[in-house]
Amino acid sequence: MNDRVVGAGDLRFELVDGWEHVPAGWHQFDVPAVCTDKAGNVYAFWRGDHRVVVYDRTGHCVDSWSEPPFDVRAHGIYMSPQEQLYLVDEGTHSVGRFTTAGKFLTQFGPSGKPSDSGYDGENYRTITHGAPPYRRPTGVAVAPSGEVYVSDGYGNARVHRFTADGTLLRSWGEPGRELTQFHVPHAVWVHTDGRVFVADRENERIQIFTPDGELESYWTDVQRPQGIFIDGSGHVYIAEGSWPAGWESQRRGAITVPEPGRISIYDVHGGVLARWSNPDPAEPGYMLSPHGIWVDSEGSIYTCANVGTMGEHLGTGPAPALLKFARI
């Protein structure tokens, strides 16, 4: 990215350099997830001194909360049309619904009780079978019907479907490379037509299902998909993670040359409308490894990254944890 304008056609954006203003003295290690409310306030789920940190549109902190005490493995966030927050904590194997002020409302599935999937606690390749909720869940989304879908991905290989009040309706998925199987289902989104989009990260594909878990289609022109957002026009925004050399894609095999993270925008059929990356740490807008993504009411993109964790893997220096690309 040689300048601060990215995208293509009518999907063009300008980097807001230095958008995030972290309060002095706060420790921010990773920011795995981000969302916005109708007023344009930005909610970031941190791993660090604070958990949910709220910014205004200009990137200044206006609020934060840490209760109940989340584990350091905060992972997924979703803002519902009713402006309630759904938070996924992979460390405590839990998914909950909260007010934007941090008041707990509803638990979806159990909390603090990891299910048995054969997982050894470290390597997703050791998962032997799909299990009930949860074993290190990753993402959550709310359907137009109010039903809630959870991707259960680091220690499991399933998607879970709940009623709006938290009753489990069904689960699907097993570990593997075949269609309908998963290797790290990392994020989920429900289209307005009810279709369920799942970021099957280590298989490097998007799998698309009916609400009952029947496969409808899949996309493979995607790199290590980590976050999904679908706007009201049907544009599908994907945060695509970096590949360090020496890691292995379940679809493409060994990665011999480092591949930088990127942002891609697709039409609802999987056609690429825009795509960009910035792998140069010396440039504004350096994207270490995009992890979460959200689009606000003005069409601006927010993306976030686990800069502490991935920085260690990639051997890089400091990088921005939150980036804003304003729609132009």
CATH number at residue 103: 2.120.10.30
Mean pLDDT lowest among 73-87, 244-258, 308-322: 308-322
Q: What is the mean pLDDT of residues 273-281?
A: 92
Between CA 306 and CA 304 the distance in angstroms is 7
Cα–chain center distance at 149: 13
Predicted local distance difference test score (pLDDT) of residue 71: 60
* Structural domain containing residue 318: 5-327
Q: What is the mean pLDDT of residues 91-97?
A: 95
Q: What is the mean pLDDT of residues 223-235?
A: 97
| pLDDT of 69 higher than 80 | no
| pLDDT of 312 higher than 80 | no
* Percent of the chain at pLDDT exceeding 90: 85
Q: What is the mean pLDDT of residues 270-296?
A: 92
Residue with the bigger pLDDT between 318 and 13: it is 13
Comparing CA positions, the residue from 237, 202, 197, 204 lying closest to residue 220 is 204
Query: DSSP string spanning 192-241?
Result: TTS-EEEEETTTTEEEEE-TTS-EEEEE-S-SSEEEEEE-TT--EEEEE-
Give the total number of structural domains in the chain. Answer: 1
Q: How confident is the model at residue 308 (pLDDT cuts 50, 70, 90)?
A: confident
| Per-residue burial over 238-275, b = 16 or more CB atoms within 10 Å of its CB, e = otherwise | bbbbbbeeeeebbeeeebeeebbbbbbbbebeeeebbb
What's the alpha-carbon Rg for the chain, to the nearest Å? 18
Predicted local distance difference test score (pLDDT) of residue 48: 77
Predicted local distance difference test score (pLDDT) of residue 220: 97
Predicted local distance difference test score (pLDDT) of residue 284: 84
Enter the pTM of the model.
Answer: 0.96
